[in-house]
A and B are shown apart, each in its own frame.
Chain A
Amino acid sequence: MEEIRFLPCGDSAITVVFSREMSEEANRKLHFLAAQIERERIPGVSETVPAFCSITVYFDPLRISRIKLEKKISRLIRAYREDAAAPRRVFLIPVCYEDAFAPDMADVCRLTGLTKEEVIQIHSSTDYLIYMLGFLPGFPYLGGMDPRIEAPRLDTPRTAIPEGAVGIGGKQTGIYPLASPGGWRLIGQTPVKVYDPTRNMPILYRAGDYIRFCPISAAEFEARRNSAGEIEVREESAV
């Protein structure tokens, strides 16, 4: 593991860098730090933003100095043990891959040389780590997509993508939690409300959790749309 580095972001934030490359280990470690910071309630620290291989910590320099905060963070990280990681949460997200919900499926099949059934089977048989959330509220940057279903982004992004759309963009796959413009190739849609501002946790999952896509029929999609939408979460011991 590389030494962590602290980068200043003005007078009220620092970015703690764990590694220069994307790695599951670095990502696990920074989510551990995020949890520790939240638990410690360090006076003067307001919140954190975990990313691929770094975490940005926001603070009030009139309440805690950067030097003091860096020392505190270094101490918290030293408590990290591989086996101490919390059990992983896997969110089972139902996705309808049928034609009406998958405008780019034919293109993805053409670009990958796979059949529709193969694309669905490959896409729905991985537990994807949520490295970070960004771009839009709840938009997950997922790691671990099978390279066989990689497909380049659209040359011209769509101006409107519906809420819940599931797409592939290059080496990544993800969900659009709210209607938005975007350039990923759409291969399905979930009826689950990933974003609901009236919930205590407006976004269903957090960075550091895992997502598994579960194929459903169009009839199931309609049945689940607008229903309270209980979604299944499995807790599994950490790897």
Chain B
Amino acid sequence: MKMTVLSPGPLSTVQDEGRFGFMSTGFSPGGAMDTYSMRIANILVGNAPGDGVIEMTMLGMSVSFSCTAVIALTGADMEPAINGTPVAMYTAAEVHAGDILSMKMARSGMRSYLAVAGGFDLPYAMGSMSTNLKCGLGGFSGRKLQSGDEIPLRQSFSLAHLGNRKTEPENVYPDGIGIRVILGPQEDYFTDKGIETFLNTTYTVSEKSDRMGVRLDGDSIENKNGVDILSDGIATGAVQIPASGTPIIMMADRQTTGGYAKIANVISADLPKMAQARPGTRIRFTAVTEKEAVRLKKQQEQKLKALAYMSVFAKQRG
């Protein structure tokens, strides 16, 4: 029971919800960039929401299966097809021995997630299946997938086991997005004019963005007396302003600590949107209250819970 990589795409890695408990010793949490799409993919195939999936970047991969399996794809629409016949995103689909699942360039968005029912039979490294490329740790031999890699599956599933599971696609990622932030922790390092620039400029996602950080091009943010701070801890979505004055949003593979002032932090509910912003995407920031951020996070969690709940009954309904 395995899935063989025929062509890997530029950056396809095994990721899960992240590697926790080691940040104090300097390990990035890693994990899927868009954990919302990742969890939906897992729920659609009956896995635990935080299980290992494959994250593909901009251009999808092609894989073949050695047994019957149930798959689901979420996130960026890379026009998936089984043996050349298009297959719907956000829908559990059955593949059989010898079938080839292929994908193309993302039509919009940046990252697509492939979950297989039962999960990948890969070892956990420090409690997680996430690939940490810097340390060569976790995932498939600690590296990105290559042609010929054979990823073992834990179990063979068919749709008869799982029932018909699907949900409304959320895979439309516009060219311009609004990102909500909470100001701080170091907004006092910036002038009023600097904060105004931050909240009123349309920034553009740079080509230099990666899993560590989304770099933005646009107006420089004015600081009071420099942006160097005594290094402190960084949360996912922290908006760092280095000396150049243009923001970097710290993402899954970020360093755990940093020495640049952080003007704001993206709210949890908008991190998936941030993760799907491809180079060229235009971004505007809006400041919201903590109360609003928590309300939006709760709303997102409830949507996932409802989906998981419906999926449990999918089998009975057939």
The interface residues of chain B lying within 8 Å CB-to-CB of A132 are: 231, 257
Contacts of B7-47 to chain A: CB distance below 8 A? 20-27
Question: What are 14 contact pairs spanning A and B, CB under 8 A?
Answer: A9-B233, A9-B234, A9-B235, A11-B290, A13-B235, A46-B20, A47-B23, A54-B230, A134-B257, A137-B25, A139-B26, A197-B137, A202-B25, A202-B126
For residue A215, CB closer than 8 A to chain B, the reply is no
Instruction: Give Cα A34 to B21, complex, Å.
Output: 12
For residue A166, CB closer than 8 A to chain B, the reply is no
Are the C-beta atoms of A47 and B24 separated by less than 8 Å?
A: yes
The interface residues of chain A lying within 8 Å CB-to-CB of B125 are: 197
0/1 string, A105-123, CB within 8 A of B gives 1: 0000000000000000000
Are the C-beta atoms of A47 and B21 separated by less than 8 Å?
A: yes
Across the interface, B231 reaches (CB within 8 A) one of A34, A52, A195, A206, namely: A52
Chain A nearest Cβ from B18, distance in angstroms: 10
Q: Would A133 and B266 be within 8 Å (CB), given that A10-B238, A178-B135 are in contact?
A: no
The interface residues of chain A lying within 8 Å CB-to-CB of B232 are: 15, 17, 49, 51-52, 54, 56
For residue A138, CB closer than 8 A to chain B, the reply is yes
The interface residues of chain A lying within 8 Å CB-to-CB of B255 are: 134-135
Closest 5 CB pairs of A and B: A56-B233, A10-B265, A134-B257, A7-B185, A49-B233
Instruction: Give Cα A12 to B294, complex, Å.
Output: 9
Are the C-beta atoms of A10 and B256 separated by less than 8 Å?
A: no
0/1 string, A45-72, CB within 8 A of B gives 1: 0111111111110100110001000000
Q: Would A135 and B26 be within 8 Å (CB), given that A8-B290, A12-B268 are in contact?
A: yes
For residue B182, CB closer than 8 A to chain A, the reply is yes
For residue A213, CB closer than 8 A to chain B, the reply is no
